[in-house]
A and B are shown apart, each in its own frame.
Chain A
Amino acid sequence: MIGIVFLCLVVLIVLAVPIGVALGVLGLITDRLFSSVPMTEAMGQIAWNGSQKFELVAVPLFVLMGELFLRSGLARKMYGALDEWLSWLPGGLMHSNIGACAMFAATSGSSVATAASIGTVALPEMHSHKYNERLFLGSLAAGGTLGILIPPSINMIVYGVLTDTSIPQLYLAGFLPGLVLTLLFMATIVVACRLVPRWGGVPRRASWRARFTGLRHLLPPLALFVVVVGSIYMGFATPTEAAAIGVGATAIIAAVSGRLSLAMLREAFIGAMRTTSMVMFIVIGALFLNFILVATGGMASITGFVEQSGLSAGWTMVLIVGLYIVLGCFMDALAMVITTVPIITPIVVKLGYDPVWFGIIIVLVTETSLITPPIGVNLFVIQSIRGRGPISDVIVGSLPFVITMMLMIVIIFTWPQLALFLPTTFYR
């Protein structure tokens, strides 16, 4: 009977049915084949519970916030201001790419939005200082992935909801790794430009005066970060409420910069709801399949299989991470998380790992998947903004950063405290 389920899976993949449908249909079939008492009737209740989970309200709100910020035109000013501070480093503007992405990430929960906003601002500058084109493109694609590691993060919310992990703890856990990965990305550029000096373009140095006058452009994103993330830890807002505050604050910023209009709101609404319905639809399918798997004992046999495989905990984790990296090459990042996390996380927790720590690992492999071909959305975003030349330039340019990300995963494995230090200090 496992064979039938597997056959169905193959058919669903060959037909390329939407992921949410594939999960739901697998749930229906598993129920038919393995349940002594059919549980399909629970579908309505599960779909309703999933649709109205308060924690998940943060997802559409963050998408809406991102859509509003994207249209507020603040990214350009922020980028210019950061350039004044970072241009002296070998690789110049490429450091601004990373820095601006990190900063944008602190106000945005999405990697695509981060790459798109900073990419649009940065790409016209690429030729002005003779940088290596591939490395420059790579720095944008890779920098954009910081969007989901530095809080707030849509992926962390979804992970938290699906695995019953505290979202505030996940946010805190992402903070230091986000900072370290930002620095590692910059180090990657410095090393590359030291090895091949001509990649680094023409060195420049800004005046201290320009640096300080530029600082005011960093205020709006900084204020947003403080409002959205700070309100959670000062104890007067849940992550969902913080997202609502973020929407309000972004709307005010957009209004002040003169970009708020009905047409702009309409576009932002459409963008936000389009993403939301796509995400929620997969969440419902995943919740239903998960329910059926637990009820039919399928989950227990999967966990049992891993336990009896004779692999040590460490090797199982290596296998899991490897699986994610391969899967990530072919699958949309967020869809991959929603689909797999309800099944994989219980295994990992049973092996004795911390679910908050694993959440960070998941975010890191997801980031990798965003810049690995053939399906890496950030690669497409940067190539699309560039609008000429082969996409292989972006792929090759992202490779050094993929290696850096692997290094980061090893670091989190070796020193779990890097992720767990803040949550343990504040919550446990």
Chain B
Amino acid sequence: MSHSGSEQARPGFETWLRGISTAGVIAGGVMLLAVSALVIVEITLRKFFETSIQGVDEISSYAMAVAFAWAMPFAILDRAHIRIDVIHAILPERMRAWFDLGSAIVFCLYMTILSYFALTLAWASYSDGTRSEGLLATPLVIPQSVWAVGLALSVPVLLYLIVAASRAVFAGDYDTARRLIGTESFTQDEVDQAVSVTDDGPGARA
């Protein structure tokens, strides 16, 4: 890979990563909405028709597990994970960038271990033919493998961030490093997001 080529490919790759992870998040949201609908149908049936769709709670639980796991790559890219940055925040910019890098590496190692055990669990469920104890007797490998793959996707995302951010740190470009793996804006992002949506729509403020 030539230098100029990778230089141009990077933002493109990042856009692609963000696109994929956003799709994962939205799929999770759709699943949540579907879960709500299903639960409402279930309650209505139970209350008024004294019948029931079997295993709604089980399906909802799997949906959440999967939605959570598939939202991880987005949450990582969006720096949604809360960090205690009391000490971190008072460090000089350069040191902070290095520590951010260290933090991302620890994060990546941890996700690798977690994904490994998650995948192992799914594999064990497959080879043992484990089924859920609920009414559905779901072969657990189905929800578990989808869930484990979602978690495992965090690893390449973190690897990308580590590579991109270390290039930036070595080049002394601390702004880019912060945009990729920094903490500074975690509260600010969250606040901006909460605030931006409360506008009552166009014209309402006039």
Write the residues of chain A forming the contact surface with B, with a CB cutoff of 8 angstroms: 12-22, 24-25, 28, 40-41, 43-45, 47-48, 51-54, 56-57, 60-61, 64, 67, 70-71, 73, 75-76, 112-113, 116-117, 119-121, 124, 231, 236-237, 240-241, 243-245, 247-248, 251, 259, 265-278, 280-282, 284, 330-332, 335, 374-375, 377, 380-381, 384-385
| CB-defined contacts of A384 to chain B, threshold 8 Å | 188, 191-192, 195
Are the C-beta atoms of A332 and B61 separated by less than 8 Å?
no
Pick 18 A–B contacts, CB within 8 A, sort by A.
A16-B99, A16-B183, A17-B107, A18-B81, A48-B147, A51-B68, A52-B62, A53-B61, A61-B35, A241-B42, A243-B36, A244-B35, A244-B39, A248-B40, A273-B29, A273-B32, A277-B71, A277-B80
* Proximity string of chain B (34-68) to chain A, C-beta cutoff 8 Å, 1 when within and 0 when not: 01111110110011000000000100111111011
Residues 53 to 108 of chain B near chain A (Cβ within 8 Å): 57, 60-65, 67-69, 71-72, 74-75, 78, 80-88, 99-100, 102-103, 106-107
Are the C-beta atoms of A259 and B201 separated by less than 8 Å?
yes
A236 to B63 Cα, complex, angstroms: 22
Are the C-beta atoms of A380 and B106 separated by less than 8 Å?
no
Partner of A60, one of B22, B32, B147: B32
| CB-defined contacts of A385 to chain B, threshold 8 Å | 195
Q: Assuming the A-B contacts A48-B144, A276-B71, A281-B81, are A377 and B190 also in contact, with contact meaning beta carbons closer than 8 angstroms in the complex?
A: yes
Are the C-beta atoms of A16 and B88 separated by less than 8 Å?
yes
A287 to B188 Cα, complex, angstroms: 29
Q: Assuming the A-B contacts A25-B110, A112-B190, A278-B81, are A120 and B195 also in contact, with contact meaning beta carbons closer than 8 angstroms in the complex?
A: yes
| CB-defined contacts of B110 to chain A, threshold 8 Å | 21, 24-25, 28
What is the predominant secondary structure among interface residues of chain B facing chain A?
helix
Are the C-beta atoms of B194 and A113 separated by less than 8 Å?
yes
Are the C-beta atoms of B64 and A281 separated by less than 8 Å?
no
Residues 1 to 43 of chain B near chain A (Cβ within 8 Å): 22, 25-26, 28-30, 32-33, 35-40, 42-43
> B204 at interface (Cβ–Cβ under 8 A)?
yes
Are the C-beta atoms of A116 and B183 separated by less than 8 Å?
no
Q: How large is the interface on B (under 10, 10 to 19, 20 to 34, 35 or more residues)?
A: 35 or more
Chain B proximity of A32: nearest CB distance (Å): 12
> B149 at interface (Cβ–Cβ under 8 A)?
no
What is the predominant secondary structure among interface residues of chain A facing chain B?
helix
Contact stretch, chosen from B111-119, B162-170, B171-179? B111-119
Are the C-beta atoms of B194 and A276 separated by less than 8 Å?
no
> B198 at interface (Cβ–Cβ under 8 A)?
yes
Are the C-beta atoms of B71 and A52 separated by less than 8 Å?
no
Chain B proximity of A377: nearest CB distance (Å): 6
Are the C-beta atoms of A48 and B118 separated by less than 8 Å?
yes
Which chain B residue shows the least CB distance to A377?
B187
A270 to B69 Cα, complex, angstroms: 14
Are the C-beta atoms of A269 and B29 separated by less than 8 Å?
yes
| CB-defined contacts of A13 to chain B, threshold 8 Å | 84, 86-87
Instruction: A14-B99, A19-B84, A112-B191 are known; give 13 further A-B pairs, CB within 8 A.
Output: A14-B88, A16-B103, A16-B183, A24-B114, A47-B151, A57-B64, A112-B190, A117-B198, A119-B198, A241-B43, A270-B74, A277-B80, A278-B80
